[in-house]
A and B are shown apart, each in its own frame.
Chain A
């Protein structure tokens, strides 16, 4: 078992807040986000980089947090679905996902929103093809993707 003395202090910024957390060097960023920081919006669907449910932004770039060691985030900026918007002030993507029926079981939704946000941040008016490429690492079992793509397109047109 990992003893406390085996742990290292990790300092990073999560959703704009500086955090300090004792981590085992073998832990993934996903595990630290979910279990140590209690930010359970980020999901684990496979644990091996296949599904994208664990997608977060690391320095503004999407990563599968199940494949990133927590210590790789040292000194860096992490953004999760909890940092996208609030109930009073939703990210336009969150609004659009609700309005256009892009949410069903919701398990892929956090990762999907993060991938879409990363896309729009660097390319505010993507083509449908570019949207498809941007979410190609995020599996959704429920929606068939059509409504997700539509929801992103609407924001891209308005944005």
Chain B
């Protein structure tokens, strides 16, 4: 065997943190504690869309062992945050627009007390009509969930002449696809611990996929300059995009700032499932045209992404879904309209694949159906239409380098044809 040329590449190396992890001594945010530490808990709206008529925290505040109960008026900085667009309220003011909206935050001497204190807070809501999907969001007379309206972003993709493309088509197929919401379900729920040091700096140890973005959001909410906030990323127990957005960070920081004591905030699994970012449910209508000898000639699509009550990274995710709707195939004429809408559902944001998965549901189903209609083997049909050097993508990007899809598909063909157990799949593949 040849000696590998590099120090790392080509050599099996143990993970740098594996030893600590098998010994149980890797430190995750929820493992950290400090003397005189308090436990945080957030009261969530629990109703999807409502006016807040009254918040009564007196019973919670009066409980022995409760150090503080914060509502919107206690925020020293701005009552806004968000990973890319600051459209999330740290604590609700006059209105809630999702069941996950934080209404109050409590710090207490024990986790049980914090939980009981949250239960003792009384909030009077007046229910408002609920927007549950993008079509309702865009309908005439729909309640506006944000001042700018419910359409967060509209993007057009236009390439070539779609009408002419469909005229060349011998077979045209169209369908509507609906993907579902998914939770990342990292084994470690969102956690963090915040404290003030002797110089009045705020130190936050937390789950994070971007400590500097967290710091910017925390500093603005706490009314501190960024150089007074230090975010230290603890060992993270899985994220998959779900720890990109702020989860515990702003609230645990506020509680530590308000009490001057270390505060730990760990979400329960239920809280993680019902309040934290998810994968976008996207509705995609699409029409594909192909000549009878199997050449794709036009594609049209409408993408409706539900980003929930807040943008998160939704506009990027949903846009990407539309951008990738052609899949790794060459289509000369493309027309896609992409809508990212607010609804009263839970916030959606980054999740492995970032919108591309939702698109692949559509283009792969369509490729199978079109191949069937043309009477061409589906793998062969894909090879015939695969992107290649000199061809352009749905957004007009000319491939200067090989993106590898054709080689991959051809390799698959070779594997299938050389495997006697797959014989029945080979008919028409050559």
Binding site for B on A (CB under 8 A): 1-2, 26, 34-35, 38-48, 50-51, 53, 80-82, 84-87, 90, 94, 97-99, 101, 103-110, 113, 139-142
10 pairs, A vs B, C-beta closer than 8 Å? A1-B113, A45-B188, A81-B23, A98-B19, A105-B186, A106-B26, A107-B187, A107-B188, A107-B237, A141-B184
Q: Which one of B10-18, B296-304, B313-321 is at the A interface? A: B10-18
- Determine how close the nearest CB of chain B comes to the CB of A77; give it in whole angstroms: 18
Number of interface residues of B (CB under 8 A): 37
Q: Which one of B28-36, B245-253, B395-403 is at the A interface? A: B28-36
CA distance A107 to B28 in the complex (A): 9
- Determine how close the nearest CB of chain A comes to the CB of B105; give it in whole angstroms: 19
Question: B residues within 8 A CB of A86?
Answer: 23
User: Is residue B189 contacting chain A, with contact meaning CB distance below 8 A?
Assistant: yes
Contact B238 A87 (CB under 8 A): no
Question: B residues within 8 A CB of A39?
Answer: 24
Contact A1 B64 (CB under 8 A): yes
Interface of A, helix, strand, loop or mixed by DSSP: loop
A-B pairs with the 9 shortest C-beta distances? A41-B24, A107-B237, A106-B21, A81-B24, A40-B31, A94-B22, A107-B187, A105-B238, A98-B18
Question: B residues within 8 A CB of A85?
Answer: 23
User: Is residue B3 contacting chain A, with contact meaning CB distance below 8 A?
Assistant: no
Question: B residues within 8 A CB of A42?
Answer: 24
CA distance A38 to B240 in the complex (A): 29
Known: A47-B269, A87-B23. A97 touches B18 (CB 8 A): yes
User: Is residue B419 contacting chain A, with contact meaning CB distance below 8 A?
Assistant: no
User: Is residue B65 contacting chain A, with contact meaning CB distance below 8 A?
Assistant: yes
Task: Kindly name the residue among B17, B24, B186 whose own CB sees the greatest number of chain A CB atoms within 10 A.
Answer: B24
User: Is residue B25 contacting chain A, with contact meaning CB distance below 8 A?
Assistant: yes
Contact B22 A142 (CB under 8 A): no
- Among the listed A38, A48, A106, which residue makes an inter-chain contact with B235, where contact means beta carbons less than 8 Å apart? A106
Binding site for A on B (CB under 8 A): 14-15, 17-28, 30-31, 33, 64-65, 109-110, 112-113, 184-189, 235-240, 268-269
- Determine how close the nearest CB of chain B comes to the CB of A18; give it in whole angstroms: 20
CA distance A94 to B31 in the complex (A): 21
Question: B residues within 8 A CB of A35?
Answer: 33
Closest to B109 in A: A1
- Determine how close the nearest CB of chain B comes to the CB of A96; give it in whole angstroms: 9
- Determine how close the nearest CB of chain A comes to the CB of B238; give it in whole angstroms: 4
Contact B185 A141 (CB under 8 A): yes
Question: B residues within 8 A CB of A97?
Answer: 18, 22
CA distance A2 to B65 in the complex (A): 10
- Determine how close the nearest CB of chain A comes to the CB of B107; give it in whole angstroms: 14
Task: Kindly name the residue among B17, B184, B238 whose own CB sees the greatest number of chain A CB atoms within 10 A.
Answer: B238
Closest to A39 in B: B24
Question: A residues within 8 A CB of B14?
Answer: 98-99
Task: Kindly name the residue among A34, A110, A139 whose own CB sees the greatest number of chain B CB atoms within 10 A.
Answer: A110
Contact A105 B188 (CB under 8 A): yes
Question: A residues within 8 A CB of B15?
Answer: 98, 101, 103-104
